[in-house]
Amino acid sequence: MSHTLRDVLRTILFGSVGAGLVSGCCYGPFCNLEVPPSSADHAVALAEMEGLTIHLPFGAGISAQCLQENLLALAIPNYSGREILAPIGGVAYPHFARREGDDDDSATDFGNHINLDQGDGTMVVIGNLQEIFVEHGKAVVAGQLIALAVAANQGASSQVQLGWQAGDATVTALDSSSLEGLRLIVAVAQADDADDADGTVLGEQTLGVEEFTCGQPGGGYYTSVLSASAP
């Protein structure tokens, strides 16, 4: 068997079409074959197909208004406190917005944020944080206190960003991409307005992000059922 034909068959059998094309050559019709996705891309694709279910990142009974869909922007009434709980377990990687004098370009639209690595190329991102309580590379459990939201101006609500992203959790979420299939566990009886934000939780349900009513004004209120947990 010729060396060239052997390389072609190896390419077909082992899925390495672009690689030997190992020697940098192109073998006729095989030039148009697509290179198979990497195992990392495959894992992300599988994860997105299955979706991900998480909690709102607040203590049970606290409600937040949804201001923006996709990368959720959630407003917390001032009197509800600013404690942020891990909405799901994972390995935490905190990142900080660029400060004057920093050498690296770490500024992001997420502000100070935490990436919770899910181990499959995806991460849950919680952004717009003021104080962070977790260390780089440390595992956290759902319900664990991980941060405080940025303090709101007088008469306003603190806003937190929440999303499910594909990317490297060890670096800033700026270059990550949003994933579809995120679901959130919320209280069955939603608050009607901010005055009812800390009402009694009567049960729970799971809603896809696309089922949230978001807008400014007009965004719906969604109540957390997440119990606080010790690390």
Q: Which of 178, 177, 180, 197 is nearest to 74 (CA)?
A: 197
Domain range enclosing 26: 3-36
Q: What is the domain count for the chain?
A: 2
The whole-number pLDDT of residue 41 equals 81
Q: For 106-118, write each residue's pLDDT tens digit.
A: 445 789 999 999 9
Residue 231 lies in a domain: no
Is residue 32's pLDDT more than 70? no
Mean pLDDT of 136-156: 87
Report if pTM > 0.85. Answer: no
Residue-level pLDDT at 8: 43
Q: What is the mean pLDDT of the chain?
A: 78
| pLDDT tens digit sequence for 192-229 | 544 444 455 568 999 999 999 998 778 999 999 999 98
Q: Give domain status of residue 41, yes or no.
A: no
Whether residue 171 lies inside any domain: the answer is yes
